[in-house]
Chains A and B, each alone.
Chain A
Amino acid sequence: MCENCGCANSTGNVHLHTHNAPHLSQPRQVEVQEAILAKNDHLADHLRQKFHQQGILTLNLLSSPGSGKTSLIERTLTDLGLDFSIAVVVGDLETDNDAQRLRGKGASVVQITTGSVCHLEANMVETALAQMNLDGVQLLFIENVGNLVCPAAYDLGESARVVLLSATEGEDKPLKYPTLFKTADVVVLSKMDIAEAVGFDRELAMENVKKIAPQAEILELSARSNLRLGNASIQSRTGLESWYDYLQQRYQMISSKKTSLEAIKPTSEMIFSTLK
């Protein structure tokens, strides 16, 4: 049952009102005071509760088109597929190419083709999950539509938001698209194998991320190689290993069941939730 409203069924969250006031002809003022995305937020909360109960770590992956979301998920499936049961929901405007790339890597994958909608919403995720067997699933990746603007406002029930910034797209992306970066729990600097070749200023990128998203953990990696980054001593973890460490850590938090639902809420929840 729903914590917020006591409703028995979360599907669609249609809280219908039935009473009919008599029609009055005189214009009158009605106070509403309702969050415009309340329905989405409500459903997202239901999803988060469900993930929490089932011990599933759910990550919402966001970036510009082509920053490497699918590649990072592919690589993670290759490297962690034996240790974790992983499911993926992929959103794209058109085609199921991404889903095809991810199938055959051992994950169950559901594609959401949004048509003209430039972001995923909680009800789309709910519909996609209905086509999927979540029993035993430990990690759920939601690859959002490639877009740095619109997905920011939509909570999908995730416990963390991962925003990718690739070496090829310029260091000032966080300053140009602050809304999304503001909501990040993790910022991944991706395609770092070609950073030098494309003249990517890593320091400047980090500085910009820290200005907009001081709360975010910053990871740098390449989905293509076992790059050792940061202080490049032999003992240091590779970028991918740090990413896997992060996943392990977050997963432990969720699966230990000792962690409250409150504690696994993403940063974005604190940001986009005034009236609920």
Chain B
Amino acid sequence: MHEVGIMEQLLAIATEHAHKEGASCIHTIKARVGDLSGVVPEALAFAFDVTAKGTIAEAASFEIERVPAQCYCTTCQQLFQPSTWIHECPHCHEMSHDIRQGKELELISLEIS
């Protein structure tokens, strides 16, 4: 369960930005979580409920934008969307290790006042 640790980092960044902007309350937090990031969105949402208590983000709504995996096949020179962790090109069946999307773990934006 490293989602709590990830959430602590996220809240630290969010709080720093809020302070920088002179805000005293965070209303909304938008995060981006890739399907290959190793972070389970449900666990992250749960971690938010636990970790945000007593902070200026306590009452915030926490929104997750999921990003599906996308790989590039060097042989076919085209992108494909794998449906599992086995990143086999659907056209030539070669294994790809060129991940173009899906590893995101980012804080997108905040709504503050």
Contacts and interface: CB of A to CB of B under 8 A. Distances in A.
B38 A153 contact: yes
B95 A178 contact: no
A197 interface: no
Contact of B109 (A32, A270, A274): A32
A21 B95 contact: no
B36 A20 contact: no
B45 interface: no
Nearest to A211: B86
Contact of A39 (B1, B9, B20): B9
A206 interface: no
Contacts of B85: 175, 178-179, 182, 212
B24 to A, nearest CB: 7
A210 B9 CA distance: 33
Interface of A: 17, 19-40, 117-119, 121, 149-150, 152-153, 175, 178-180, 182, 210-215, 267, 270-275
B65 to A, nearest CB: 12
A26 B113 contact: yes
Interface in B46-67: none
B37 interface: yes
Given A36-B10, A150-B1, A152-B38, A23 B108 contact: no
Nearest to A214: B95
A27 B16 CA distance: 17
Contact of A179 (B6, B18, B36): B36
19 contacts: A23-B24, A29-B109, A29-B110, A30-B17, A30-B109, A30-B111, A31-B108, A31-B109, A36-B105, A37-B9, A119-B5, A152-B38, A175-B85, A211-B86, A211-B95, A214-B96, A214-B97, A274-B105, A275-B106
A36 B13 contact: yes
A157 to B, nearest CB: 18
Nearest to B95: A214
B103 A30 contact: no
B84 to A, nearest CB: 8
Most chain A beta-carbon contacts within 10 A, residue among B88, B105, B111: B105
A119 to B, nearest CB: 6
Given A30-B109, A153-B39, A274-B104, A36 B6 contact: yes
A37 B97 contact: no
B109 A153 contact: no
A28 B103 contact: no
Contacts of B107: 32-34, 36
B6 to A, nearest CB: 6
B106 A34 contact: yes
B42 interface: no
Contacts of B1: 118, 150
B113 A117 contact: no
Contacts of A213: 97
A169 B4 CA distance: 28
Contact of A153 (B2, B10, B16): B2
Contact of B21 (A21, A119, A152): A21
A145 to B, nearest CB: 11
Contacts of A175: 85
Nearest to B87: A214
Given A32-B14, A36-B31, A210-B95, A25 B20 contact: no
B7 to A, nearest CB: 9
A267 B99 CA distance: 11
Contacts of A28: 111-113
